[in-house]
Structure 1
Amino acid sequence: MPAMRQVALLIETSRGFGRGLLRGVAQYCRENSNWATHFRPHGLGDACLDWISDWRGDGILVRTENERIADAVRRPGVPVVELLGKLKHQQQVPMVRVNDRSIAKIAAQHLLDRGFHNFGCCGYRIGNYPFLDIRVGAFRQYIEEAGYPCSMLHVYDLYVGKSRLSWERQQARIAEWVKQLPKPVGVMAVTDDRAFDILGACRMIGALVPDEVALIGVDNDECIGQLTIPPLTSIDPDPPRIGYRAAALLDSLMDGDPPPSEIIYIEPRGLVKRQSTDVLAVDDVAVSEAIRYIRENACHAIHVSDVLAHVRSSRVTLETGMKRAIGRTIHQEIHRVRIETARQLLAATNLPVKKIAVDSGFRTVQYLTRVFTEAVGIAPARYRRQSRIEP
């Protein structure tokens, strides 16, 4: 029997993302590995490093928040896999993380689909988290490519390290920014933490969520999700899959394999819709009602004629209004909702593909497979495999 590998886990337990990473690492250990893990619960950036100074092990998985942690894990001959990438020099270390551009695209598309023409994005001070800067920049790019302006706000992170702003001053700054945004507005917060701050600022100035400010966060943190009023729409970056892939990479490095030449990016799991974006920013009553009817009934085998009968409008008038509001025809919106439903069912359930085809409005597996492959680029079965934890 091969010797047990001693692996240190410097991953925080104070946030849902870190706990998700640890779940993925744990699954890898159960399935593949002869690891003995060394771990102490801690917050991001608050790791107690007394034990690791004398630790003699074989590999390290780490979220490097500061130079103190970077110095502690820097040791000759011990492979390290990075899971945060905050420090520039740590970006040369083998790294696994979520695809931030994909997160931005999901957020932008969701708010565009809600019919918004005004947008904002709130992140941290530029340079604090390089990959979150990419997330913010990509969101702005997608919105501007759609033909709309995007207001930006960058403020310090009060929860990590030393901040130059008190909580009251930061909230006042966010509130002033929200107040000057043209309404209704769709806003992406770069994390759920930042979304929590924005919701507080909205309450300070009396801005209604989602009617005036539709807000989407990132991380799908279960604790923040329970604290927010209204419940927060968020993007699930799939931390268990990131943790699983990072563990697999560390195992290969401990085997002596060469490190990857580039960062390994994991696609986010998808959008978790809640009340904070449950609104349509469409002035045309008929168009708004048509979109809502489609999103509630598209999977029930409805046709364009059913939508026209429901809103009592001519096809030319309604098509023109929908193209102006969301950039799609009636048929295209029905099609989009069905594809999105199939994606969610494939990723989040173990339902047979035949049942998913029926539940998403495609009726047959053959029809679902043809349309899904055309829209997504891969077949439903392969999409399901890629959506699950795997090396």
Structure 2
Amino acid sequence: MAPMKLERMLSMKGGKDESSYVNNSQAQAQHARSMLHLLTETLDGVRLSSPPEYSPANFVVADLGCSCGSNTIHMVDVIIKHMTKRYEAAGFDSPPEFSAFFSDLPSNDFNTLFQLLPPYGGSSMEECLASDSHRSYFVAGVPGSFYRRLFPAKSVDVFYSAFSLHWLSQVPEVVLDKRSTAYNKGKIFIHGANESAAIAYKKQFQSDLAGFLRSRSNEMKPGGSMFLVCLGRTCVDPTDQGGAGLLFGTHFQDAWDDLVQEGLITSEKRDNFNIPVYAPSLEDFKEVVEADGSFAINKLEVFKGGSPLVVNHPEDAAEIGRALANSCRSVSGVLVDAHIGEDLSDELFSRVASRATSQAKELLDQLQFFHIVASLSLSY
């Protein structure tokens, strides 16, 4: 899928229905909370700036790949409260004015996100009307790809990006080219694919990350910091995508094969669909940061996040099956709908749920995500 085409359509599933991102991002919230100590370490390294004469200082936070749920709002709130306490502890008469930029691709459901913001925040109209919360920062939405420039030069103090950088700007062209050794025949993801396909995905990831770093190095204020979290893997072999591989390369893959075998889609239709996700190893990530040279690595590690499945009744196989299908659909449903239409998409995810239900216990035991966690600051 060409970069501009993917950029115009890729998003987490909007709205508030059962398979929406809003209702299927509890695991991301849990994983983010488990890393708060690493985030606060990064924030403690951010330079506190005095206000220029005649005007208050402006402290700017940007969440890149914010999506449309409440997780981004919570994390921005954590960042701003922590920085406020730092300013107070340092003896500043008053903290700066804070601005928060929520950035994602133009197809992101910004409407749902903005409805969740204080003082409006609430999942229903009644909750919004009853809310008495307030917001201590100014807000703006910034549509665009974070693989390019999004902000003016030297304007952002803290960049935060969680669970987004594993999404590529495009599916590598050679992966969809029948003439190429990297052609990913019979598969919709690189988990278990041939070596050439995996190398193509790795190159795309590293090219994208290099563009991300170039852009942020121009946009970050001196003394600023960046905290990044993306899906990662512990295996050296890129064809073993770990938790991402189990999410997209097992029951999801088998459901596509079901549609082919039942004559609902052609094998060519399946083969022309690939998930634009790459879970890097620590070395994959480190190579790009060091080659770019703009950022010093304060911390770079693999962090065990846990399961992406949040269920109320772990003994209920059907609930686990639905949770896996909804988890897949909340992040890939928009792409699937565009490729085969909503009716066939319903069929596909119904089969994902059915297959996952039959393997529920194994899923809960085996489906674990690891994340690459990076704390970076300008090296000059």
Please give the TM-score of this superposition, normalised by the length of structure 2.
0.34
Give the number of the structure with larger relative contact order, counting CA–CA contacts within 8 Å between residues 6 or more apart.
2
When Rg is computed on C-alpha atoms for both structures, the one with the higher figure is 1
Give the number of the structure whose residues are more often helix, by fraction: 1
